[in-house]
């Protein structure tokens, strides 16, 4: 599969839905990807299974405050330095770029890096949604270390961490990112193609593209497009309502908030969605209808536009969509890593559409 100019819009749409309210402002990463495709041609996306099983994969992601990125952008040379440092650590060349987070800007950014380095990009990731912390990956569940973790800033400063566990790696990168001017390019979880086949979520990039194509059909007004989208993503419309209250605040470097929606047909019904960077819990009358790690996303009722938390405003009419997380997130061990209690909620995980 190749990602060319024609695929960028649909891929970006799918990324916003998988970003579940977080994942940053997609528009700048779209510009970067268009620019990379213009310069280097369409980006080749490969299955991990096509690669030499012993081949080294180079994971990459942007990490930090999205407002820092929209003001400073990046230099463009960061990923090359980070991946070079990773290759030096392993004393071997990488064979492909691996996305860590297919959700938000980190869906498109690895494609930019792959184009610039002349490498293919692997059709896989470690989340198939956006999560706010580095340890929240399928690789952590498989016992794979995030270290060495390499962060590079716009000036070319390189920081390398060797942390005893992945949660510690997360704490290190957060304080490092502040010193680096609010965001950095990061590489961690370097794995072989075989480890990727065994433990990553395969097909995430093509999945995001397919989700985006179906949203695009909704936006065009195609007949049956909503059913097609919901069927493909195994998703349901939890609630269709109007935003009547938004509260956002910054607490210890995290954006927390709640959004309240009033049902369009029945104003006595309200839904509350709790946010910590991403949408985490949807509650009606104190009862959880959907919880993390399942995906909760907002899509504009009229236009089919998926919305990030920053896009929300009073009066918008939104479908609250719930999509089951990848099966890898629905095990007891996974719930211990990314379930509601990890985010401080005293409730159990409520699987959308039941368990399989």
Q: Which residue lies nearer to other proteins by CB, 58 or 312?
A: 312
Residue 132 CB, nearest approach to other proteins (Å): 8
How far, in Å, CA of 81 to CA of 76, rounded?
10
Q: In the complex, what is the shortest distance from the CB of residue 214 to other proteins, in angstroms, rounded to a whole number?
A: 22
Q: In whole angstroms, give the CA distance from residue 253 to residue 250.
A: 6
For the CB of residue 295, give the shortest distance to other proteins in the complex, in Å.
Answer: 20
C-alpha to C-alpha distances, 214 to 10, 130, 230, nearest whole angstrom: 8, 20, 9
In sequence order, what are the residues at sequence separation of 6 or more whose Cβ sits closer than 8 angstroms to the Cβ of residue 344?
none
Provide, rounded to whole angstroms, the least separation between the CB of residue 124 and other proteins: 25
In the complex with other proteins, the residue whose CB is nearer, 249 or 356, is 249
Cα distance between residue 180 and residue 46, in whole Å: 33
Q: Is 65 helix (H, G, I), strand (E, B) or coil?
A: coil
Closer residue to other proteins in complex, CB, 48/82: 82
Tell me the closest approach of the beta carbon of residue 3 to other proteins, in angstroms. Answer: 17
For the chain, how big is the Rg over CA atoms in Å?
19
User: CB-based contacts of 207: which residues, under 8 Å, 6+ apart?
Assistant: 14, 102, 128
Nearest-approach distance from CB 131 to other proteins, in angstroms? 14
| Closer by beta carbon to other proteins, 113 or else 193 | 113
Question: Which residue's CB is nearer to other proteins, number 319 or number 326?
Answer: 319
Query: Quick check: helix, strand or coil at residue 147?
Result: coil
State the Cα–Cα distance between residues 269 and 168, nearest whole angstrom. 42
Closest CB 258 distance from other proteins, rounded Å: 13
User: In terms of CB distance, is 76 or 203 closer to other proteins?
Assistant: 76
What is the C-alpha to C-alpha distance for residues 204 and 208, in angstroms, rounded to an integer? 6
Backbone phi, then psi, for 255, in 5-degree steps?
-90, 120
| Helix 5-18 / helix 26-40 crossing angle, nearest 10 deg | 150
Rounded distance, CA 306 to CA 299, Å?
4
* Residue number with CB closer to other proteins (93 or 248): 248
Interface contacts to other proteins, rule CB under 8 A = 27-28, 31-32, 34-35, 64-68, 70-77, 154-156, 174, 177-178, 181-183, 244, 248-255, 257, 262, 267, 277, 302, 310-317
Dihedral pair phi/psi, residue 312, rounded to 5°: -70, 140
**Smallest gap from residue 22 Cβ to other proteins (A):** 9
CA 285/CA 270 separation, integer angstroms? 7
Q: Which is nearer to other proteins, 64 or 324 (CB)?
A: 64
């Amino acid at each position: 599969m190749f990602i060319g100019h024609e695929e960028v819009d649909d891929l970006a749409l799918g990324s916003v839905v998988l970003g579940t309210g977080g994942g940053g402002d997609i528009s700048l990463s779209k510009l970067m990807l268009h620019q990379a495709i213009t310069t280097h041609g369409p980006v080749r996306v490969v299955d991990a299974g096509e690669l030499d099983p012993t081949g080294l994969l180079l994971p990459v992601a942007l990490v930090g405050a999205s407002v820092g990125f929209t003001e400073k952008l990046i230099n463009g040379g960061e990923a090359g330095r980070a991946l070079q440092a990773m290759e030096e650590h392993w004393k071997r060349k990488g064979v492909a770029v691996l996305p860590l987070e297919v959700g938000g800007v980190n869906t498109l950014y690895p494609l930019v890096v792959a184009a610039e380095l002349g490498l293919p990009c692997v059709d896989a990731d470690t989340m198939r949604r956006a999560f706010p912390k580095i340890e929240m990956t399928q690789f952590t569940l498989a016992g794979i270390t995030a270290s060495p973790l390499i962060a590079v800033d716009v000036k070319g400063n390189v920081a390398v961490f060797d942390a005893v566990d992945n949660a510690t790696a997360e704490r290190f990168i957060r304080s490092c990112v502040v010193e680096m001017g609010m965001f950095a390019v990061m590489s961690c979880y370097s794995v072989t193609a075989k480890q990727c086949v065994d433990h990553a979520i395969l097909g995430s990039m093509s999945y995001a593209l397919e989700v985006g194509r179906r949203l695009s059909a909704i936006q065009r007004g195609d007949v049956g497009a909503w059913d097609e989208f919901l069927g493909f993503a195994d998703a349901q419309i939890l609630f269709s309502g109007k935003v009547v209250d938004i509260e956002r605040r910054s607490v210890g470097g995290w954006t927390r908030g709640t959004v309240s929606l009033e049902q369009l047909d029945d104003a006595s019904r309200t839904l509350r969605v709790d946010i910590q960077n991403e949408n985490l819990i949807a509650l009606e009358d104190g009862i959880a209808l959907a919880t993390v790690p399942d995906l909760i996303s907002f899509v504009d009722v009229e236009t089919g536009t998926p919305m990030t938390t920053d896009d929300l405003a009073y009066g918008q009419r939104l479908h609250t969509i719930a999509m089951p997380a990848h099966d890898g997130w629905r095990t007891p061990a996974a719930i211990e890593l990314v379930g509601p209690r990890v985010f401080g909620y005293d409730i159990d995980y409520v699987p959308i559409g039941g368990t399989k």
